[in-house]
């Protein structure tokens, strides 16, 4: 029976991570994909886990058959998952009715938090109850072993979580879509529920427990364990957040890169928990072992930073080159493996803490519930502290040194709380050394400036600022006064070119009288600056506030453009802004940052987004979008993907047109509900405006004949499936790439 319990809990862990990935993605479409909105969703998820564990811990001793209750929990999770798509659609309507784009940030934050908690609290509470329930099932089964079985149970669940990330991110979403992946996970929950219910009949019905562990006051070691499991939970999640941000500079921002980071981290936690569960009943001085864990995590952080700095040089020879996907994946694994020792130590903390809290032969579920609840609270706090306090004020490497300082601080606090021994004194000496070295390194100059300049020979950093969404960097060629390339998290976003100017000029010169224009994605400010040259009301929406601040490093007239009285700069997710605003526009133009196969960019090319944009166009309004071509290092690597993007666009707009961009690096597509007529005479008259003419021809001379090359998009006889929110093929491409043998561009 014990093997079956481990197996069903592994399956349960797989479904939980599938839901976390998919629900966060779904709710990101509802609330926006800003760091703030995503953090609120994840906070709601973890808060529910903590509440569920705490609640079941209070009532667990009264349960006669915890396995039967566990089956009901899994049944509830599966039923909720089946209902989630409908709930998300209803939530979207409620949110759009309550919040407008003009509302105060505090109000929007409050509504997001309330709605997120309302929709996630029930299923995550049920999830949080599962570990304590199965812990008591194992204890009441009367089978004994030399290992600490709650640690093995935790490891099995975590290993299942890694399998869930792999199955959903690398296989299922691409094969069957997001909704079907959710239904598969929900069906697995139901299988787990029915299996558990069938086995529940074999578990002897026990009377309410008299010795349930909760009645005994916690020892000094128990309180130390609670404090440390909370702190290490915070340190572990905080480190994961900051390391993920740092590794993005080398492995890119693809969905697969983020999934690989999470998979390897979860495998490390499972391995650490398993190994310690086999050892913990044989170890002496568990208190010292637990205190040593955050110290080890901090020491490895410092060593891993040094290794990472070395890897930035060795991997640069592959950057921005087309390689087989397998080579890119192995390169990513090489970098991400730096997290493995950190996650091993993190995983080892749980069996150590539970054994200190409950020194029985087999752990009581009620006490495990307390440990798990506090560990989850710590994880919640750590992710918020890292994301909102450390990351926005530090560069990548500096942030990691700050985490090393925090590891040292937790270790010193634990040593002070414990009874001093010679071993603890030795740990204290190591910890003080770690804290001193990390503090000096954290206060030093930005290491990332040196890394960026080494990665771009002949360029100099002119602006480098961290923020909520990442680190924004403006670089210029040596000797030039102004920057000409924008980086976010070390990845090139855009360069100065006539192509980005045309993203404004094409639709605005073709529209008879553009009064209201919306630009989504600010970038270097080129498209917004060109739109302002036409006059009228111009709104630009940008996700990263620091990108707007970097505007002055690219154009000498940035302050004048920023002060344009009819212009408006909004910091928000562009799609979310469109959903929440009631305003309609004559022109909407969008310039998503490359590579467009990165995580989340599909949301700006999907059919649902284009339909949303169409709804916000005035009669005769024009939507403009840029589609890069294969070979341009912009995330489109096959003609099949180009056709999919074009047919998705033409399937939304009754009248769709294309223009092969200047330099042949991509295609401008234009859509409207009415025919777009190219009047050379009208365009000539508009170009008599010196501001428009000067901006259009600032870098290259653009002849009038350019506008005559716009042609209607042909309708495909057998169009490929469109890009949708449910079928985000733009960022889920692994199987398609492997089948075709297509190379991908190393980020």
Q: 503: domain CATH number?
A: 3.40.50.150
Confidence of residue 361 (pLDDT cuts 50, 70, 90): confident
Whether 9 and 153 have beta carbons less than 8 Å apart is answered as yes
pLDDT tens-digit map of 77-98: 999 999 999 998 888 888 888 8
pLDDT of residue 314: 64
463 located within any domain: no
Distance CA 233, CA 492 (A): 34
CA torsion 563-564-565-570 (nearest 10°) is: -80
Domain that holds residue 120: 1-206
Nearest Cα to Cα of residue 406 among 248, 286, 233, 221: 233
Q: How far from the centroid of its chain's Cα atoms is residue 151's Cα?
A: 28
Phi, psi of 156 (to 5 degrees): -60, -45
Same domain, 420 and 375: yes
Whether 683 and 507 have beta carbons less than 8 Å apart is answered as no
Cβ atoms within 10 A of the Cβ of 249, count? Answer: 23
Cβ atoms within 10 A of the Cβ of 226, count? Answer: 20
Cβ atoms within 10 A of the Cβ of 436, count? Answer: 12
Specify the DSSP class assigned to residue 330.
Answer: H
Same domain, 107 and 59: yes
Q: Return the H-helix or E-strand segment holding 669.
A: strand 666-672
pLDDT at 217 over 90: no
What's the mean pLDDT in 196-208?
A: 73
Phi, psi of 602 (to 5 degrees): -55, -30
328 located within any domain: yes
Same domain, 189 and 291: no
Averaged pLDDT of the chain? 86
pLDDT tens-digit map of 25-59: 888 888 887 777 778 888 888 999 999 999 998 88
Same domain, 647 and 706: yes
Tokens of 568: 């408006």
Tokens of 550: 């970097």
100 located within any domain: yes
Same domain, 183 and 235: no
490 located within any domain: no
pLDDT-wise least confident of 215-229, 514-528, 733-747: 733-747
Same domain, 197 and 344: no
pLDDT tens-digit map of 510-559: 998 999 999 999 989 999 999 999 999 999 999 888 999 999 999 999 99
Residue 282 DSSP SS3: coil
What's the mean pLDDT in 2-9?
A: 89
Which of 153, 183, 206 represents a domain boundary (last residue)?
A: 206
Q: Locate the DSSP E strands across 432-529.
A: 459-467, 470-477, 485-488, 491-495, 516-520
Specify the DSSP class assigned to residue 483.
Answer: -
pLDDT of residue 104: 63
Distance CA 649, CA 643 (A): 10
Same domain, 414 and 511: no
Same domain, 25 and 123: yes
Which of 184, 206, 228 represents a domain boundary (last residue)?
A: 206
Same domain, 163 and 256: no
How many domains are contained in the chain?
3
Whether 160 and 12 have beta carbons less than 8 Å apart is answered as yes
444 located within any domain: no
Q: How far from the centroid of its chain's Cα atoms is residue 376's Cα?
A: 19
| 48 beta partners | none
Q: Return the H-helix or E-strand segment holding 87.
A: helix 66-98
Whether 470 and 390 have beta carbons less than 8 Å apart is answered as no
Distance CA 583, CA 571 (A): 17
What's the mean pLDDT in 562-586?
A: 92
CATH number where 158 lies:
1.20.1250.20
pLDDT of residue 345: 95
pLDDT tens-digit map of 481-510: 888 888 888 777 778 888 889 999 999 999
């Amino acid at each position: 029976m014990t093997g079956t319990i481990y197996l069903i809990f592994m399956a349960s862990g797989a479904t939980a991570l599938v839901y976390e990935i998919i629900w966060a993605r779904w709710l990101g479409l509802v609330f926006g994909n800003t760091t703030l909105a995503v953090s609120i969703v994840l906070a709601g998820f973890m808060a529910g886990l903590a509440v569920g564990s705490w609640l079941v811990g209070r009532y667990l001793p009264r349960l006669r058959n915890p396995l039967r209750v566990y089956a009901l929990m899994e049944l509830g999770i599966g039923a909720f998952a089946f209902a989630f798509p409908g709930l998300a659609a209803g939530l979207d309507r409620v949110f759009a009715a309550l919040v407008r784009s003009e509302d105060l940030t505090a109000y929007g934050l409050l509504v997001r938090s309330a709605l997120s908690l309302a929709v996630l609290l029930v299923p995550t509470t049920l999830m949080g109850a599962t570990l304590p329930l199965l812990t008591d099932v194992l204890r009441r089964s009367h089978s004994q072993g030399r290992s600490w079985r709650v640690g093995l149970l935790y490891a099995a669940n975590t290993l299942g979580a890694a399998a869930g990330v792999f199955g959903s991110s690398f296989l299922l979403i691409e094969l069957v879509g997001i909704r079907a992946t959710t239904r598969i996970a929900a069906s697995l929950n139901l299988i787990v529920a029915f299996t558990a219910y069938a086995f529940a009949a074999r578990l002897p019905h026990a009377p309410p427990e008299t010795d349930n562990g909760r009645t005994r006051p916690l020892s000094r070691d128990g309180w130390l364990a609670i404090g440390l499991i909370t702190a290490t939970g915070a340190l572990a999640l905080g480190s994961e957040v900051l390391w993920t941000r740092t590794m993005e500079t080398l492995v890119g921002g693809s969905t697969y890169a983020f999934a690989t980071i999470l998979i390897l981290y979860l495998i490390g936690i499972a391995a650490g928990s398993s190994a310690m569960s086999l050892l913990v009943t044989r170890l002496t001085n568990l208190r010292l072992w637990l205190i040593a864990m955050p110290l080890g995590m901090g020491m490895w952080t410092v060593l891993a930073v040094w290794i990472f700095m070395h890897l930035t040089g060795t991997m640069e020879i592959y950057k921005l080159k087309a390689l087989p996907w397998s080579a890119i994946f192995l390169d990513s694994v090489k970098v991400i493996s730096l997290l493995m020792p950190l996650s091993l130590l993190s995983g080892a903390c749980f069996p150590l803490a539970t054994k200190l809290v409950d020194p029985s032969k087999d752990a009581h579920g009620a006490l495990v519930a307390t440990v798990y609840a506090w560990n989850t609270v710590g994880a919640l706090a750590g992710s918020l502290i890292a994301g909102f306090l450390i990351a926005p004020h530090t560069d990548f490497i500096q942030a990691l040194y700050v985490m090393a300082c925090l590891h040292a601080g937790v270790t010193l606090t634990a040593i002070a709380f414990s009874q001093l021994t010679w071993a603890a004194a030795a740990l204290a000496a190591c910890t003080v050394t770690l804290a001193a070295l990390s503090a000096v390194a954290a206060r030093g100059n930005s290491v990332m400036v040196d890394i960026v300049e080494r990665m771009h020979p002949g360029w100099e950093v002119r602006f480098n600022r961290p923020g909520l969404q990442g680190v924004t960097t403006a670089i210029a060629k040596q000797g030039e006064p102004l920057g000409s390339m924008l980086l976010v998290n070390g990845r090139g976003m855009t360069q100065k070119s006539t192509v980005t100017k045309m993203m404004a000029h094409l639709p605005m010169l073709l529209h008879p009288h553009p009064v209201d224009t919306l630009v989504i994605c600010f970038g270097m400010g080129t498209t917004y600056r060109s739109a302002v040259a036409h006059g009228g009301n111009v709104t630009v929406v940008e996700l990263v506030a620091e990108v707007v601040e970097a505007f002055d490093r690219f154009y000498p007239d940035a302050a004048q453009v920023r002060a344009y009285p009819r212009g408006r700069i909004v910091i928000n997710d562009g799609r979310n802004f469109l959903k929440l605003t009631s305003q309609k526009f004559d022109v909407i133009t969008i310039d998503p940052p490359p590579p467009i196969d990165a995580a989340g960019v599909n949301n700006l090319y999907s059919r649902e987004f284009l339909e949303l944009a169409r709804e916000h166009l005035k009669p005769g309004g024009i939507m403009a979008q840029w589609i890069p071509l294969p070979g341009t290092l912009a995330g489109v690597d096959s003609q099949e993907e180009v056709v999919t993007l074009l047919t998705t666009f033409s399937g939304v707009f009754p009248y769709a047109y294309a223009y092969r961009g200047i330099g042949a690096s991509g295609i401008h597509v234009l859509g409207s509900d009415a025919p777009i007529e190219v009047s050379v005479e009208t365009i000539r008259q508009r170009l008599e405006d010196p501001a428009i003419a000067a901006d259009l021809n600032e870098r290259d001379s653009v002849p009038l004949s350019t506008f005559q090359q716009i042609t209607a998009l042909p309708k495909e006889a057998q169009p490929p499936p469109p890009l949708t929110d449910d079928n985000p093929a733009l960022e889920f491409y692994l199987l398609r790439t492997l089948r075709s043998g297509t190379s991908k561009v190393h980020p």
